[in-house]
Structure formats: structure tokens, C-alpha cells
Amino acid sequence: MILRDSENSCTFKDVWVLAEFAGGKVHNVTYELLGAAKKLSDKLLRKSRVVCLVLGEGTGTAAEKFFHYCADVVITVDDVSLKTFNDTVYASVISRLVKKYKPEILISGATSRGRSIMPRVAVLVETGLTADCTGLDIEEGTGLLLQTRPAYGGNIIATIKCEHHRPQMSTVRQGVFKAPVPDNSGTGEVIEENVLEAEKKTRISVIEESFSEDKGINLSDADIIVTGGRGVKGPKGFNMIAELAKVLKGAVGASRAAVDSGWISYTHQVGQTGRTVQPKIYIACGVSGQIQHLTGMQSSDFIIAVNKDAEAPIMKLADVAIVGDLFEVIPEIIKLLKSGIQADFKKLKTTAESRD
């Protein structure tokens, strides 16, 4: 919606978070964004509330928990037509509610759903959208939303503002923000909205919806990540990285250099152009630590780096820096772990958790 000269920007208020609700479960990125929304609302020039918008079937079960994560208001749209995900139906409902309530800011997770819905909503309400953000803040003095994201393949960091349209819209990667500590005493207002019959009409027909049951550990959810970089030297080197990850019951990560070299698939990439992660323990093996990579993992609770170069950027960031040949160091660590020294790594994990 365009801010006309005769229209006061105060017409638009509140920070909205579009919840991701699927299969009766709330995606963790929703809680992360609610915490971020609270910080944004506190910095705005006028008093604003954190509003969580959730669509689906059976959404009422999730509403109360949103209040535990900083939401002041929860808008629920509970309808059988929303049981399966149809981005055109979802976008129609969301855009109508945006026009009705006029939020100043609307943010969503940069998930497959968020990336599908948000561009449609932006078009329907005639505003801009900054996708795949790695940072959000409020500009002092203007109250504008500062939206940070990588550009030109991650070679630069762009800060984008939307001065003349509302709402200011962004999708944000999972792991960029930490979910707040839940306050079980939190309460708020619940607003129930419906789906209009006209909004149910769509050219898209969803035949079946299924949810992945991948047995592998998702990078975004892993407590421990073992990442290989250029120093791994090839695909065979990642066999060693995978073995260490398996012993630690963690996930395998990779730097962009390793992925670009074809040594491992993009799904393992950590960094600005990959996943943003926040594990309890992050082990970087042969990773130099360029800024694009550090941005994606620097919020890890405890960082261990193995590198020949003591001056590598990753070594300066690490809590524990091991200077040495990873092909000598990692096999020794694996051998020790298999010999029963898992307790030491558990202690590291406990230490990291105690910092929360």
C-alpha cells in the first residue's frame, strides 16, 4: 500500500509475524521471529504490538504458545480449506487482513512456504519485499525497517529500506535470531478471522500433501555441526567429516568453497548463501572463515576450529583453536571419542548450554 502525501504513516502500526503452521506443528522459525519482532516493536517511534498471524486447520491449539514467545495479539484463521497448503488461497486471506489491519511491518520465515506466500502478498497489497534477510533493525530517527541481506552471490551485504510503501515486508532465514526464553505466564488478545468463499476459489488443486521424514539431521536443528572447508581437499575428505559428525550425533556442514568445488551438495552449505545455523557446538575443519561463512555460524554457542593457519579468521573467532593438519587431528579425535571420551564433548555442550 502506497503512503500518499495526504495519508499519515501513523495509520500503519504493529509488527506482524506470519506463523508457519503445518501438520499441526509450528515451525521453530516462528518463535525466532516473534522474539525479533519484539525487539523491533520496542525500537519503533510509536507504541507497537507484536501480532502473530496463523493460518491453517486447528490453529487454536497453537495460539496460547505464541503469547509465551512475546506475542501481544494472535490472529487466527482456522478453516478446513487451509488444511493443505495452497499459496494462492493463503496469500488472498493474508492480503485482505493486511489491508484491514494495516501493519507497519510484516515478516515471515524464508522457508519454502514463506518464499511462496510473501511475494504474492507483496503484489496484492502493492508493497516491496526483501527476501532472505540475515538481519533486521530499526533506523534511528526515521523508524524505518533496515533489512540486511547478501547480494551479488554473497560478495556484498545490502541494507534495504522501504520508505514509501506499507507494510515493510521481509522473509528471514531460520537461525538468524535466537528464540526468546518462553514466558509461560504470557497472555494476550485472540482475534478470530474467517476465510471468505471468494478466497477459496483457485486454479490450483492440491492433490496430496506430505511432510518429509528425512532420517538425517537437519542443519538448522542440529546441536552439533561438523563443517568441512577447502582444507578437506576433496569428496573423500568429507568421509572423515561425516564420520566425526556421526560419532558426535551431529550434522555435516560445508563452506561455499567446498560446495562450489562439487565435493558435497548445497544442502550442507553454511553461510550467507547457505544456511544460517546456531548449534551448541560448531566444529570447523579446514575452514578459513571468510565473512560470508562467519555470518552464517558466528552465533554458535561454542566454536572449535582446526586449521594449519593460526591466523585464519575462524581461529580468532573460535573458543578452541587447534593449529594442525586436520588429516592428523580429526582421526585422532575420532579415535579418542570411540575410546570413550564422549564425556568431554558432553561437558563442552553443557558449558555452552549454561551460557543461554
Domains of the chain: 9-200 (3.40.50.620), 219-354 (3.40.50.1220)
Question: Has residue 303 got a pLDDT over 60?
Answer: yes
> Which candidate, 249, 248, 241, 300, places its Cα nearest to that of 271?
300
Average pLDDT over residues 198-220: 68
> Which candidate, 269, 261, 253, places its Cα nearest to that of 235?
261
Q: What does pLDDT average to over the chain?
A: 85
Apex CA 221: angle with CA 220 and CA 224, to 5°? 95
Question: Has residue 136 got a pLDDT over 90?
Answer: yes
With cut-offs at 50, 70 and 90, classify the pLDDT of residue 2: low
Q: Can you give the length of the chain in residues?
A: 356
CB atoms within 10 A of CB 141: 7
Looking at 82-86, 100-104, 349-353, which range is the least confident one? 349-353
Looking at 10-14, 48-52, 164-168, which range is the least confident one? 10-14
Residue 212 confidence (pLDDT): 53
Average pLDDT over residues 26-42: 92
Residue 353 confidence (pLDDT): 44
- Taking each helix axis from N to C end, the angle separating 235-247 and 326-336, rounded to the nearest 10 degrees, works out to 30
With cut-offs at 50, 70 and 90, classify the pLDDT of residue 338: confident
With cut-offs at 50, 70 and 90, classify the pLDDT of residue 152: low
Question: Has residue 215 got a pLDDT over 60?
Answer: no
Residue 325 confidence (pLDDT): 92
> Which candidate, 348, 200, 175, places its Cα nearest to that of 253?
175
What sign results for the dihedral spanned by CA atoms 239, 242, 248, 252? positive
Residue 226 confidence (pLDDT): 95
Question: Has residue 211 got a pLDDT over 60?
Answer: no
